Amino acid sequence: MKSAVVLALAASSSSALAGAVKPPQQLNKRALAHSDPFYPSPWMDPNADGWQAAYAKAKEFVSQMTLMEKVNLTTGVGWMGEQCVGQVGAIPRLGLRSLCMQDSPVGVRLTDYNSVFPSGQTAAATWDTGIIYQRGLAMGQEHKGKGVNVMLGPVAGPLGRSPEGGRNWEGFSPDPVLTGIAIAETIKGIQDAGVVACAKHYIGNEQEHFRQVGEAKGYGFTIAESVSSNIDDKTMHELYLWPFADAVRAGVGSVMCSYQQTNNSYSCQNSKLLNDLLKNELGFQGFVMSDWQAQHTGVASALAGLDMTMPGDTEFNSAKSFWGTNLTLAVVNGTVPEWRIDDMAMRIMASLFKVGQTVEQPPINFDSWTLDTYGNIHMAAGQGYQQINWHVDVRANHGSLIRDIAAKGTVLLKNNGALPLNKPKFLVVVGEDAGPNLQGPNACSDRSCDNGTLGMAWGSGSANFPYLVTPDSALQAQAIQDGSRYESILTNYAASQTKALVSQANVTAVVFVNADSGEGYINVDGNEGDRKNLTLWKNGDDLIKNVSSWCTNTIVVIHSTGPVLVTDWYNSPNVTAILWAGVPGQESGNSITDILYGKVNPSGKTPFTWGATRESYGTDILYTPNNGAGAPQDDFSEGVFIDYRYFDKKNTPLIYEFGYGLSYTTFEYSNIKVQKSNAGTYKPTTGTTAAAPSFGNFSTNLADYLFPKDQFSWVWQYIYPYVNTTDAKAASQDPHYGQTADQFLPPHATDGSAQPLLGSAGKSSPGGNRQLYDVMYTITADIKNTGSVTGNEVPQLYLSLGGPDDPKVVLRDFDCIRIDPGQTSTFRAQLTRRDLSNWDPVAQDWVISSYPKTVYVGRSSRKLELNATLT
């Protein structure tokens, strides 16, 4: 039998504790980016907006907990130790079952009778906050119905720095305001359903390559540490942190720290990121959980602000943990102060209570590791045979919502009058992307292939399809109903048959093509998560060029995880319409049929730019290590200039700009008005916090922490909080055990005294200083539907901040408004103080510059028909 006591692996190294990694000698060729230390880790604020009641309940619960129970709550039981992708230890004495963390941001992962929703990126393309909220609510309800406590989503990291980024589809948009609004609405929806949302991956997780050392080895690179995203303070605040601020303000219960390093310090032990930016400046009151195996140290991560380790073991099934036993020892010997573990427990419990969960929890009724009804509940150990799947159907009527989101998230990029279709005489559908995966929609685990239509991309952000309506089946049904003739060729490689078919008289050809991507642990067709190029997969470009050379009415539908290069064919007169249908989920065929036939008038706007060349984006993935065997260095030297901001800066011609999308009707913009509100002057927050509270006390006698052999039998590889000997050094198995704390702890790391409040931080206001969200201007404009059908329009408010280092314009607000033909509606948008400010790295606060500011209202980032100067 293996020992239940775990190794004290790398409990500390002073550089890691300081939140910065000193470059090893051989890497000293260049000065590596550095992350400043920030200690102590901020503790919860009992008066924080929206958290008071949850705090009070948590305090009552945590006050009854023993140290071992607190450790249990913070430490995962190990990979595949229980039913969910992550679970922590139970607190049976107080009636709390093991908490369940489950993917994904598109539906409940690894189970059955769940729905598959459109991707975050597709939802963002609706620009419809109401429907984005509904999507979050429905996904939350499904997780709730399965017994999930924490849903591992939504995503704002990656933001989408490079269009090739493998997981961009899981998030929303490279624009921080669109992502910020979308993540906040999604979080509200999920948490209104009684499930804790998890904003991930915090932060700078902009590529899959080199996010993990082991993974990199798998594709042939030996590196000592994960890639470092090197991000300056201004870019951090104005771009990458922005949507996380919105997530915190929306009350998100948990945040997942990411795999990679930021400024050469691992995100899950980076005190600048966790203690300072997230908990201090943004006033985050929930808990930070690690991504799976993203924890690299024990004490260091605890003091830097990590609150829960997932899945609990150092590496999958290592039977060792940085926490568990080691956290017990660290608290007993004072290396981790009592208030810090109390704060971890408080944050976790308060998040549950905040969303309405109680100590008594509904059971977890599914198992991630098998769909069999019976099996081992401790899958890794092969122990505990019992019923593990109840096959609970949680889908309700979400199918119609899914159909609607994917239709409204479809962007009409080109239309020469070919659409909407009206009982076409002969409809021909061409392309593998219109058809099924012949082995079934769930044949490839975690959707690790691109066979048939792209309803979902790959990785942990996936879920099993309950069914997948293909474009072929839905369009055929529509054609039959209309009395159209219908044929389809569901391969990209039948040139002669395709030519013979689409060259016939009266053909309306719809060509379906795609481009896929996903998470870095899976390689599909040479793409290590990140795409290796921006071209269509499976010869899609040739397919389009061929069909459009044979057929004068060729409509193109693209399913993809981001922009693709359409340069070679989009302008062909025979390509009569182009649609981007994103990653649509289970109702794919119905959604695209609704759009093609005008049952839903398109109103989607592209949430990213379509450049003419790959190079024109100015950013790309770092595909090859650039620092010898050390951590690859990914310098975000473009600053805030990603996507449209870069194209605008360089004045580069492009194909379809950010925010662009057509409708079957037309809209006219007029009459911009600006109203200034009296928001008063900004006052940086002053004062101090209370001292760190601690709840209860604990024994320092290790005999009290021995594994209770007489009470239950030990599960193989399971992570426990116990020790197996009262000799601390032996229990830790750490040769350095016994060093006094001041030999390796950074200054202030254990200081529980009252701390000064940051100027930019709020007083009890998650999201930052309350005044940052004061409305300073209200802008209105008239939008008239000048066409003949009802449609939704998405008017967009952009701002020029006016400085030499500012983007030409930045998105600041938008709405999705339904307008009947001939009618005029008022678009109303707001500018807050944060919207008008820049981050000042010297003042360490948001400051409104003296540069002249102009607002624009328009239908895309480059069609800004109305403007006004702000006074």
Residue placing its CB nearer to ligand NOJ in the complex, 296 or 812: 296
| Min separation Cβ 142 and ligand NOJ, Å | 16
Rg (CA), the chain: 27
In the sheet with 507-515, reading across from the earlier edge strand, the strands are: 411-415, 575-580, 554-560, 507-515, 426-430, 485-489
- The minimum distance between CB 457 and ligand NOJ, in angstroms, equals 13
- By CB under 6 A, tell whether 196 contacts ligand NOJ: no
Q: Which is nearer to ligand NOJ, 103 or 276 (CB)?
A: 103
Catalogue the E-assigned strands of 35-174.
Answer: 86-87, 100-102, 150-151
Residue of 27, 85, 407, 621 interacting with ligand NOJ (CB under 6 A): 85
Judged by CB under 6 A, does residue 313 bind ligand NOJ?
no
Q: Which is nearer to ligand NOJ, 6 or 152 (CB)?
A: 152
CB 604, min distance to ligand NOJ, A? 26
CA pair distance 662, 793, nearest whole angstrom: 9
Question: Contact letters (x/-) for ligand NOJ, 577-616, by CB under 6 A?
Answer: ----------------------------------------
Alpha carbon distances (Å) from 314 to 319, 322, 717: 8, 6, 11
| 511 interacts with ligand NOJ by CB under 6 A | no
Q: How many residues bind ligand NOJ, per CB under 6 A?
A: 8
Spatial separation of the C-alpha atoms in residues 605 and 65, rounded to whole Å:
51
| Contact between residue 105 and residue 154 where contact means Cβ atoms under 8 Å apart | yes
Pairwise CA distance, residues 536 & 565, whole Å: 8
- Are 75 and 719 a contacting pair, CB within 8 Å? yes
Nearest to 198 by CA among 161, 259, 138, 157: 157
Can residue 197 be called a binding residue for ligand NOJ (CB under 6 A)?
no
Both tokens assigned to 577: 């319409």
Q: How far is the CB of 839 from ligand NOJ (least distance, A)?
A: 28
Residue-wise DSSP of 857-870: EESBTTB--EEEE-
Name which of 100 and 341 has its Cβ closer to ligand NOJ. Answer: 100
Q: Token digits for 156?
A: 């704002």
> Which one, 85 or 575, has the nearer CB to ligand NOJ?
85
Q: Does 432 bind ligand NOJ (CB under 6 A)?
A: no
Do residues 213 and 272 lie in contact, with contact meaning Cβ atoms separated by under 8 Å?
no
Q: Any contact of residue 225 with ligand NOJ (CB under 6 A)? A: no
Question: DSSP character for 119?
Answer: P
Helix locations, 537-655, DSSP H: 540-550, 588-596, 644-650
Residue from 43, 172, 292, 658 in contact with ligand NOJ (CB under 6 A) = 292
Judged by CB under 6 A, does residue 336 bind ligand NOJ? Answer: no
CB of 254 to ligand NOJ, least distance (A): 11
| Distance of alpha carbon 666 from alpha carbon 863, whole angstroms | 14
Round to whole Å and give the CA distance between 169 and 158.
9
Closer residue to ligand NOJ (CB): 310 or 836: 310
Asked if 103 is part of the footprint of ligand NOJ (rule: CB under 6 A), the reply reads yes
DSSP 117: P
Determine if 32 is a binding residue for ligand NOJ (CB under 6 A).
Answer: no
How far apart are CB 384 and ligand NOJ at their closest, in Å? 22
How many whole angstroms separate alpha carbon 185 and alpha carbon 135? 9
Does position 200 interact with ligand NOJ (CB under 6 A)? The reply is yes
Would you say 46 or 158 has its CB closer to ligand NOJ?
158
Active-site residue, 704 included = no
State the nearest-atom distance from the C-beta of 256 to ligand NOJ, in Å: 7
Q: Among positive and negative, which fits the CA dihedral 227, 298, 748, 51?
A: positive
Question: Whose Cβ is closer to ligand NOJ: residue 37's or residue 105's?
Answer: 105
103, 128, 291, 845: the active-site residue: 291
Q: Which of residues 383-422 bind ligand NOJ (CB under 6 A)?
A: none
Q: Which of 256, 561, 263, 556 is nearest to 419 (CA)?
A: 556
Query: Which one-letter amino acid corresponds to residue 508?
Result: T
Please report whether residue 291 would count as binding ligand NOJ according to CB under 6 A: yes
Any contact of residue 98 with ligand NOJ (CB under 6 A)? Answer: no
If binding is defined by CB under 6 A, does position 80 make contact with ligand NOJ? no
> Does 208 help bind ligand NOJ (rule: CB under 6 A)?
no
Q: Which is nearer to ligand NOJ, 261 or 825 (CB)?
A: 261
- Should residue 199 be labelled a site residue for ligand NOJ when binding is judged by CB under 6 A? no
Closest by CA to 831, choosing from 783, 782, 871, is 871
Q: List Cβ neighbours of 591 (8 Å cut-off, separation of 6 or more).
A: 402, 403, 404, 405, 406, 407, 410, 581, 584, 600
The least distance separating ligand NOJ from the CB of residue 294, rounded to whole angstroms, comes to 8
Q: Tell the smallest beta-carbon distance from residue 89 to ligand NOJ (Å).
A: 18
Q: How far is the CB of 459 from ligand NOJ (least distance, A)?
A: 7
- State which of residues 17, 21, 108, 152 lies at the interface with ligand NOJ (CB under 6 A): 152
Nearest to 471 by CA among 492, 490, 443, 449: 490
The answer to whether 460 contacts ligand NOJ (rule: CB under 6 A) is yes
- The verdict on 268 binding ligand NOJ (CB under 6 A) reads no
Which lies closer to ligand NOJ via its Cβ, residue 291 or residue 835? 291
DSSP state of 202: E
Say how far residue 529 (Cα) sits from the centre of its chain: 15
Q: Which residues bind ligand NOJ (CB under 6 A)?
A: 85, 103, 152, 200-201, 291-292, 460
Q: Give the catalytic positions in this structure.
A: 291
